[in-house]
Structure 1
Amino acid sequence: ADNGSEFLDSKGLQKAAKCDEVYYAHPFSSWERGSNENGNRILRRFLPKGTDFSALKPRELKRIEDWVNNYPRKIFGYKTANDMYAAAA
């Protein structure tokens, strides 16, 4: 989890998520959150920092979502998230 104020009630979050443990990365240690940072990097291709999300149209968000979910990933053996989801369903 990030160290932002939205995580102040960590016990409440753990209970709500039915989670035994929450990992908190050290401040300014982005390498401790590799998957999160990679996801951010992918989204920043389309949504630079400072983007006004309220101005985005649903079809634009859907286009970005489709691109992200159809992007081949090394961790999945170069399959997409959609491929992995379909295989698990």
Structure 2
Amino acid sequence: MALLHEWWVWMAAGIVLAIAEIFLPGYVFLGFALGAVFMGIVMAIGAPLAFAVATLPRILLLFALASLAAWLLLRRLFGFRNAGGKVFDEDINRN
């Protein structure tokens, strides 16, 4: 778990998740990728945000909150995929 305190681990995780997003449908991994990149930046800055990254539960909580915020922002920007279903007015079996 000591690797979660390293900035490059979070950046690498963000890159891997962004690549996974390319190959998989939906915007699921992109929010986590942005959350991981955010955590990489926070870990690289270090001293000003030391209170937020002092313990493993705080690190994971900050990652979860950043990922949730990124996911909600992406949903607002890109909208809901196939939100409106196709509506049929007539029965195709009726002559």
Normalised TM-score (structure 2):
0.27
Relative contact order higher in (CA < 8 Å, ≥ 6 apart)? 2
TM-score (norm 1): 0.28
Structure with greater proportional helix content? 2
